[in-house]
């Protein structure tokens, strides 16, 4: 059931990578760092899937503290991994930060988070009607 539930997130990841690869030349001409976009998308997909699994386990928890631990744990993991990735990129790029790419990845973070929450809400409703 988890694989089927995560399908929208997986499809978004594949679609975005395909778009980045297909439009590589035009993105490069618009001063996007395509490699950064691909790596950033992989990181966002990874943390979204990790967060999705943690939150899905939390929804099945029998106690409120376990549920809250999964929510806070998911948030903290996402926050620290994104912070480490951004600071690592800033350290690596020094004065050559790719601002269009960073803003695009910030937007993609919101899209992944929205899709994750929407999918989990759907799973929650299915669980409530079956239980």
4 falls within a domain? no
Give the residue numbers spanning the domain of 80. 34-120
55: helix, strand or coil: helix
Report pLDDT for 61.
85
CB of 131 within 8 A of CB of 60?
Answer: no
**How many other CB atoms are there within 10 angstroms of residue 103's CB atom?**
10
Domains in the chain, number: 1
pLDDT tens readout for residues 60-112: 888 889 888 998 999 999 999 999 999 999 999 888 899 999 999 999 999 99
CB of 120 within 8 A of CB of 57?
Answer: no
44 falls within a domain? yes
Triad 118, 120, 121: Cα angle to 5°: 65
DSSP secondary structure code for residue 63 in this structure: S
pTM: 0.89
- Residue written as token pair 């967060």: 51
Report pLDDT for 39.
95
pLDDT bracket for residue 2 (50, 70, 90): low
Residues 6+ apart with CB under 8 A from 28: 34
Q: Which two tokens stand for residue 106?
A: 């910030």
**Residue positions counted in the chain:** 131
Report pLDDT for 130.
47
Report pLDDT for 94.
87
């Amino acid at each position: 059931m988890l694989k089927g539930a995560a399908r929208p997130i997986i499809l978004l990841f594949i679609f975005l990578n395909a778009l980045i690869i297909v439009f590589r030349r035009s993105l490069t001409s618009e001063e996007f760092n395509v490699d950064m976009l691909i790596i950033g998308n992989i990181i966002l997909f990874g943390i979204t899937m990790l967060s999705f699994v943690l939150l899905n386990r939390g929804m099945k928890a029998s106690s409120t503290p376990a549920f809250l631990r999964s929510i806070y744990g998911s948030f903290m993991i996402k926050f620290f991994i994104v912070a480490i990735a951004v600071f690592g990129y800033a350290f690596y790029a020094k004065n050559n930060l790719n601002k269009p790419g960073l803003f695009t990845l910030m937007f993609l973070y919101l899209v992944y988070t929205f899709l994750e929450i929407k999918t989990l809400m759907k799973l929650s409703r299915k669980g409530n009607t079956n239980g």
